[in-house]
Amino acid sequence: MRPIIIAANWKMNTTPSDAGPLASAIAAATATDDVVRVICPPYVCLAPVRDALAGTGIAVGAQDVHPLAAGAYTGEISAGMLTGLATWCIVGHSERRRDQHETDELVGRKLARCLESGLRPIWCVGEQLDEREAGRAEAVVREQVERGLVAGGMANGEWAGSVVIAYEPVWAIGTGRTARGADAAAMADAIRSALEANGWTRDAAATVPVLYGGSVTAASIGEFLAEPAIDGALVGGASLKPDEMAGIVARAATTAAARRAAAG
């Protein structure tokens, strides 16, 4: 059975002085062994969040990583720099694709760096509004998966037990538009199908958790977790609110228990 994962992406919010207390509040509000919980604060907050979460069972993730191990890249962060600070890492988030013009090939190289360095990646894929309206949503996401696999040298399924993929319908993030659970489930199926089409066995593709990442809240998470193909969420704005995170994780824990019971 795939794990249920709730990952918090704090984006460019919090400071080193307030990140630790917020992480502690979230840990206290979400205590459970049934859900994999990850908090991804800004780089400058990694150490205080790590310290605040010690012994809570919540993992720490970075929001990005450079594809190379070292070099003359002012302002960048390498995987080696994250040692002891984070064990997870977001790669290919839609905001970085938009603002830093990250390509699928670059994202694939970052994936490879994460995996080689022992960081568990949350690989973000998703389509724009015009692509969905043109009927190309699944094709776009399949292309993102294929290009990332090729660039990252991941076409043989070797890393099946380590990769997590987050489906981000970019058109539903902060726009007031909403995706439905069925939309996310269809894309999760397309993602796993794309893995199979690019060298992964069906069993390997089936082990990959797919998260939903489109303006998730405690009120909306249930619709997505009701879909067997969806295994959790990458949470943005709501992850800065302990009460919202409590509701999201509680619903995720209920889903995990139900799936475990159904699996026998």
pLDDT 10s per residue in the chain (264 long)? 899 999 999 999 999 999 999 999 999 999 999 999 999 999 999 999 999 999 999 999 999 999 999 999 999 999 999 999 999 999 999 999 999 999 999 999 999 999 999 999 999 999 999 999 999 999 999 999 999 999 999 888 888 889 999 999 998 877 777 789 999 999 999 999 999 999 999 999 999 999 999 889 999 999 999 999 999 999 999 999 999 999 999 999 999 999 999 998
- The whole model's pTM is what? 0.97
Start-to-end C-alpha separation, the chain: 10
Closest CA to 5 of 253, 264, 236: 253
Nearest to 166 by CA among 125, 121, 215, 118: 125
CATH at 31: 3.20.20.70
Domain count, the chain: 1
Short-list 131, 158, 153, CA closest to 142: 131
Residues of the domain holding 125: 5-263
Q: What are the backbone dihedrals phi and psi of residue 166, each rounded to the nearest 5 degrees, phi first? A: -110, 125
Question: Hey, which residues are catalytic here?
Answer: 93, 168
Nearest of 139, 189, 113, 164 to residue 9 by alpha carbon: 164
